[in-house]
């Protein structure tokens, strides 16, 4: 018998369009051309002008031979140009690669080479590190300087300026729309458990769905005002540039994350939504109270990277902020798990509420699956809040894969799920709670640091015999790298010397903040027992805190 | 040169899932099992129980041999069973066909036969017309009685009862999820310009996207409470059963649309969202003011079918309702055009605001294209608010096509756009405004009436020589059918006789409410000049209104 619903009912131009966030931009500019899309200092740029600039960027890139399959990289703080690149680059057909501004020159050079970058947009303040990186390349890309008027200082290192590039473009020229929603839209490098960063590829379908999922998950209304405390180079700002187009909202740009600036912009620009690592919350909670006098609206905050401490949540709530913890990885377009709040929890005590908010939560509306499993059997763990397993996800908000890395891609998708590498328990109500990070990653101020990368540097020191790096709890940064080092017999090395050595060969934020000396505990098969080192580092941090407290009280 | 983004980055189980609204249900029950999904009289049914019942329905249907490619029809008011069918039927793999409860027996029989319905769920109050329809079929489907406790009267006409069917099912049995998001999810018959109704097929992808688009377009927050004033048999209630799962909201059921009941439920159940034809607004505006005393929250109302009159909008706003006009067709999953409001319009006068709200608007977030074109050339008309053209749409919220009707499907998709048949102007700000309906459709109380169907009935009368049916403006129904009839020489026929004749052969709401006698104006090629008849009908309505006013004032 024939299926009557499968006859002459095919996809055609009238009833099928590949999902792409460019469609959200098209609608925002069509319906709300006069609404402000971008605020940056004194600048007020509406959607119509933003559209013109994105189309110019797309056209200029195409005229210079950039198209599908090519990479356009950008390294910049959260400026209008960075926002525009999220549309203009895909509208040229190319893939957007937004680079972490805190990386050192070798890491940047690695990325530019691995991504085969054709064009690099550089914020003028970042010239020292980028210039160094470019010198390491055999075939440097076309370099375009973004001379942001709000930059403190800057030097032109490129062949032309961003505004000159836009001037080359024709805002009326046709632009690229994907014919296949599986087409790559962006490339984000992540520090994984292996040394070299991996290039995580997103597609138009996932970017579109996550943009919508953000709005739904957060009850974000049309025209919301979003403050850019979260770097756009983190998972494309968790896809919020595309969310802002979907809701025709206003993005308030921010070059540097400082508590005072954040609060001033919240008050003056009436920003009502922002995202960031817990350190952003701590900064806000730490500002002079007088700055918050003008605050008359509720500000919704999404935070990820580590559970916000109860004291911070309490302080934020008192100040009129509504904090939601989310969780995800670069591989899942940023957060795809949300600690969804329930009204019946409103009446619980502060500490009970904080411990509920400390759980990472449940899948967001447009992610399909989330489980905690035994990674060997792929069987879910008991939902008893006790048994530990690995967090795995599946669905449309999972990356295409790792660029030029089919083996790791396949491995990370084993068993039909993406393996997060994070260890968690599953509570009876279905909320997941991370109990331990995958052992190699340290998250410091929202940045991923691969312990292996730091270990490799340590091992390069001629006087170091053995070394391991683990996370050490830190009030300010959440975690900092802590090195445990065994120095070769007969030599002496100080903590300061080791830290300085590391800083000479990597981004400063990756260098250990603390060095402990001793012999590394290993299993019978030779694996370092990092959980023991983590306890040592934690104990060391506790002792330091207590000492500080003693000092403070004796002053 | 190879495209590096097209290598080893294919869709696999971990990173691709077909879009389906079943996923929204899965999430609602997982995260908010205890939240109330359905209110019906005294019934409070949470998402966990709703899930169990949907799975039982799916399992019972599968056990009875129903699966992909099959049709399950339902004819019922807005009851919990009708809501459950929107999930349970697709979860069996079958296609849901929700039938208009106001149709007459031949129309119902036609649909059941054309859809090749395997199982028919019937609300017990609808037994007379359904029984008649079943007698017209050679191979009647399995009939299941829904014995709704809130039905006023009822008779069992089926082989078993809905609860008995659910009892057959196993809530733990595996259920169907589409392997292809293009799979049909539902089938909705529409009265078109041709005589027989056409079966409009929706797919899982479109249902998913429109469900999300509804929430985004309307700023609908999580856990919103939706009052079911809009029939679920209209475009699957504009896809709102699926939206309610996406936001884990509460659906307040309603068997019959009456002003008092609506207002009581708004107040008592704190319903904050509802949809309906303008007549629903008129009903609300017409209730005893005392009923609205308890109303403390804003109620958002979406209305379609005809622009709400300024007086009704004003009254509704005074009562605390926020009215948005939307527009669409069965072929576009219901509304896919929204009269999106702009804050800068808030300060305009009531009449200016009403004329802005009377425009149908712009595309919803997840529809891709909307234009007003010359249908012969497919060139857009000038955006001057003057030039008239046809409204066309394209994108993911356009039907798969018409069931078993490839010719009409192809024709309706000509030029890569869906042809609405509605005539409109395009304003400079991009908002469309309908100026004339496609000439054959009359929209009465939100119901489509094909004038051709009524004309065919008139033509069957031996004493009628010529006839045409057009819309006549009506305060209560928006429009009613008005027949213009030329009686054969030498015979007499009264208005009442003609109306009675029509009512004997069609649903009563389709029969002309008014008959005018005269010769039909025709073009040189013999086409009836309906625009002249419409003016005549309109004039006739005006005279009647004035007469009523004179009578009222002389009393």
The per-residue pLDDT for A523 is: 61
What is the rounded end-to-end Cα distance, in angstroms, of chain A?
88
Query: Which of chain B's residues have a Cβ under 8 Å away from the Cβ of A343?
Result: 223
A452-456, B264-268, B451-455: which is most confident: B264-268
Of B5, B30, B216, Cβ closest to residue A95:
B5
Mutual orientation of helices A127-135 and A105-114 as an angle, nearest 10°?
60
Residue B451 lies in a domain: yes
The per-residue pLDDT for A550 is: 66
Say which residue, A475 or A380, is predicted with more confidence.
A380
The per-residue pLDDT for B308 is: 75
Of the candidates B199, B205, B188, the residue with the CA atom closest to the CA atom of residue B396: B205
Report residue B401's pLDDT band, with 50, 70 and 90 as the boundaries.
very high
Length of chain B equals: 555
Query: Which of chain B's residues have a Cβ under 8 Å away from the Cβ of A215?
Result: 216
Query: Which of chain B's residues have a Cβ under 8 Å away from the Cβ of A219?
Result: 221-222
Using only C-alpha atoms, chain B has a radius of gyration, in whole angstroms, of: 24
Report residue B554's pLDDT band, with 50, 70 and 90 as the boundaries.
low
Six token digits for residue B382: 């000038």
Query: Which of chain A's residues have a Cβ under 8 Å away from the Cβ of B342?
Result: 32
Q: Which residues pair with B516 in a beta bridge?
A: B484
Residues whose CB is less than 8 angstroms from the CB of residue B366 and which lie 6 or more positions away in sequence, other chains included: A212, B209, B210, B212, B213, B216, B395, B396, B397
Of A31, A69, A246, Cβ closest to residue B362:
A31
- Give the integer Cα–Cα distance in Å for A166 and A371: 46
The per-residue pLDDT for A193 is: 42
Residue A100 lies in a domain: no
The per-residue pLDDT for A76 is: 98
B-facing residues of A in 363-382 (CB < 8 A) are 363, 365-366, 368-369
Report residue B313's pLDDT band, with 50, 70 and 90 as the boundaries.
confident
Q: What is the mean pLDDT of residues B442-447?
A: 85
CB contact under 8 A, A362 and B116: no
Residue in chain B nearest A245 by alpha carbon = B365
- Give the integer Cα–Cα distance in Å for A346 and B458: 65
Say which residue, B438 or A328, is predicted with more confidence.
A328
Query: What dihedral angle (degrees, nearest 10) is formed by the CA atoms of B451, B453, B456, B460?
Result: -120
Residue A137 lies in a domain: no
What is the rounded end-to-end Cα distance, in angstroms, of chain B?
89
Distance from CA of A394 to the nearest CA of B (A): 4
Supply the mean pLDDT for chain A: 92
Q: Domain containing A482 — which CATH number?
A: 3.30.300.30
Residue in chain A nearest B362 by alpha carbon = A31
Q: Which of B7-16, B401-410, B445-454 has the lowest mean pLDDT?
A: B445-454
Report residue B193's pLDDT band, with 50, 70 and 90 as the boundaries.
very low
Distance from CA of B538 to the nearest CA of A (A): 34
The per-residue pLDDT for A497 is: 95
For residue B11, pLDDT over 90 is answered with yes
CB contact under 8 A, A15 and B401: yes
For residues B191 and B4, is the Cβ–Cβ distance under 8 A? no
CB contact under 8 A, B365 and A219: no
Query: Which of chain A's residues have a Cβ under 8 Å away from the Cβ of B11?
Result: 182
Place of tokens 């010719």: B407
Query: Which of chain B's residues have a Cβ under 8 Å away from the Cβ of A430?
Result: 30-31
For residues B146 and B158, is the Cβ–Cβ distance under 8 A? no
3-state secondary structure of B109: helix
CB contact under 8 A, A17 and B404: no
For residues A144 and A159, is the Cβ–Cβ distance under 8 A? yes
A476-491, pLDDT tens digit by residue? Answer: 888 999 999 999 888 9
Q: Other CB atoms closer than 10 Å to residue A346's CB: what's the count?
A: 8
A300 touches chain B (CB under 8 A): no
The per-residue pLDDT for A546 is: 78
Alpha helices in B72-161 (DSSP H): 80-88, 105-114, 127-135
The per-residue pLDDT for A555 is: 47
Q: What is the mean pLDDT of residues A389-417?
A: 96
Q: What is the mean pLDDT of residues A338-367?
A: 93
A409 touches chain B (CB under 8 A): yes
Of A8, A30, A184, Cβ closest to residue B362:
A30
Residue B311 lies in a domain: no
A32 touches chain B (CB under 8 A): yes
A8-49, pLDDT tens digit by residue? Answer: 899 999 999 999 999 999 999 999 999 999 999 999 999 999
Report residue A462's pLDDT band, with 50, 70 and 90 as the boundaries.
confident
Q: What is the mean pLDDT of residues A205-227?
A: 97
Residue A401 lies in a domain: no
Burial of B139 (0-12, 13-18, 19+ CB in 10 A): exposed
Domain count, chain B: 1
Of the candidates B176, B236, B162, the residue with the CA atom closest to the CA atom of residue B206: B236
Supply the mean pLDDT for chain B: 92
To the nearest whole percent, how much of chain B has pLDDT over 70? Answer: 96
Q: What is the mean pLDDT of residues B455-475?
A: 87
3-state secondary structure of A148: coil
Parent domain of B454: 441-554
Say which residue, B523 or A430, is predicted with more confidence.
A430
Q: What count of Cα atoms within 13 Å lies in the side-chain half-sphere of residue A22?
A: 25
* Single pTM value for the model: 0.86
Scored b (16 or more CB within 10 A) or e, B396-413 reads: bbbbbbbbbbeeebeebb
Query: Which of chain B's residues have a Cβ under 8 Å away from the Cβ of A29?
Result: none
The per-residue pLDDT for B526 is: 57
Residue A524 lies in a domain: yes
A280-294, A410-424, B38-52, B415-429: which is most confident: B38-52
For residue B501, pLDDT over 50 is answered with yes
B508 to B102, B444, B447, B511: CA distances (angstroms): 8, 12, 12, 5
- Give the integer Cα–Cα distance in Å for B370 and B215: 20
For residue B288, pLDDT over 50 is answered with yes
A292-306, A315-329, B104-118, B513-527: which is most confident: B104-118
Residue A15 lies in a domain: no
Residue in chain A nearest B246 by alpha carbon = A365
Report residue B302's pLDDT band, with 50, 70 and 90 as the boundaries.
very high
ipTM for the complex shown: 0.86
B158 touches chain A (CB under 8 A): no
Residue A232 lies in a domain: no
Say which residue, B195 or B198, is predicted with more confidence.
B198
Query: Which of chain A's residues have a Cβ under 8 Å away from the Cβ of B183?
Result: 5
Report residue A355's pLDDT band, with 50, 70 and 90 as the boundaries.
confident
Distance from CA of A68 to the nearest CA of B (A): 8
Of B12, B182, B366, Cβ closest to residue A11:
B182
Q: Which of B2, B5, B25, B364 to mutate to test the interface with A (most CBs of A within 10 A)?
A: B5
Of A7, A183, A403, Cβ closest to residue B4:
A403
Q: Which of B2, B15, B26, B210 to mutate to test the interface with A (most CBs of A within 10 A)?
A: B15
- Give the integer Cα–Cα distance in Å for A126 and A155: 8
Q: What is the mean pLDDT of residues A83-87?
A: 98
Query: Which of chain B's residues have a Cβ under 8 Å away from the Cβ of A32?
Result: 342
């Amino acid at each position: 018998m024939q299926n009557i619903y499968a006859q002459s009912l095919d996809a055609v131009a009238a009833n099928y369009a590949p999902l792409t966030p460019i469609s959200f931009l098209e609608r925002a500019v069509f319906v709300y051309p006069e609404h402000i899309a971008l605020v940056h200092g004194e600048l007020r740029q509406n959607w119509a002008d933003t559209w013109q600039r994105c189309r110019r960027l797309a056209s200029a890139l195409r005229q210079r031979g950039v198209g599908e399959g090519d990479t356009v990289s950008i390294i910049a703080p959260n400026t209008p140009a960075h926002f525009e690149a999220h549309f203009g680059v895909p509208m040229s057909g190319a893939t957007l690669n937004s680079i972490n501004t805190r990386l050192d020159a070798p890491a940047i050079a690695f990325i530019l080479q691995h991504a085969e970058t054709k064009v690099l947009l550089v914020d003028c303040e970042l010239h020292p590190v980028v210039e160094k990186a470019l010198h390491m390349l055999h075939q440097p890309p076309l370099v375009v300087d973004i001379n942001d008027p709000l930059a403190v200082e800057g030097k032109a290192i490129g062949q032309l300026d961003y505004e000159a590039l836009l001037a080359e473009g024709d805002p009326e020229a046709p632009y690229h729309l994907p014919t296949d929603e599986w087409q790559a839209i962006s490339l984000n490098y992540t520090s994984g458990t292996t040394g070299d960063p991996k290039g995580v590829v997103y597609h138009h379908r996932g970017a579109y769905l996550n943009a919508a999922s953000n709005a739904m998950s957060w009850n974000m209304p049309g025209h919301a005002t979003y403050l850019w405390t979260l770097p756009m180079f983190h998972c494309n700002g968790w896809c919020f540039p595309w969310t802002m187009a979907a809701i025709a909202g206003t993005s308030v740009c921010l070059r540097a994350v400082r508590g005072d600036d954040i609060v001033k912009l919240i008050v003056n620009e009436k920003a009502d939504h922002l995202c960031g690592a817990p350190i952003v919350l701590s900064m806000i909670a730490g500002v002079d109270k007088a700055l918050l006098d003008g605050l008359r609206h509720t500000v919704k905050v999404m935070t990820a990277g580590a559970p916000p401490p109860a004291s911070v949540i309490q302080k934020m709530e008192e100040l009129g902020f509504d904090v939601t913890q989310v969780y995800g990885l670069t591989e899942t377009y940023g957060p795809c798990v949300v600690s969804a709040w329930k009204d019946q929890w409103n009446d619980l005590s502060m500490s009970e509420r904080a411990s509920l908010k400390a759980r990472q939560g449940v899948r967001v509306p447009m992610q399909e699956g989330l489980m905690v499993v035994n990674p060997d059997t792929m069987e879910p763990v008991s939902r008893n809040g006790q048994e530990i397993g690995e967090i795995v996800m599946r669905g449309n908000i999972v990356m295409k894969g790792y660029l030029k890395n089919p083996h790791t891609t396949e491995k990370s998708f084993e068993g039909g799920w993406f393996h997060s590498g994070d260890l968690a328990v599953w509570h009876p109500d279905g909320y997941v709670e991370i109990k331990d990070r995958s052992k190699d990653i340290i998250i410091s101020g929202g940045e991923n640091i691969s312990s292996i990368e730091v270990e490799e540097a340590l091992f390069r020191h001629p006087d170091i015999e053995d070394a391991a790096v683990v996370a050490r709890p830190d009030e300010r940064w959440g975690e900092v790298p802590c090195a445990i080092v065994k120095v070769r017999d007969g030599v002496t090395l100080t903590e300061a010397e080791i830290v300085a050595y590391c800083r000479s060969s990597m981004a400063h934020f990756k260098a250990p903040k603390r060095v402990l000396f001793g012999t590394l505990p290993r299993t019978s098969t030779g694996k370092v027992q990092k959980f023991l080192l983590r306890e040592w580092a934690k104990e060391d941090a506790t002792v330091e805190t207590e000492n500080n407290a003693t000092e403070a009280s004796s002053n």
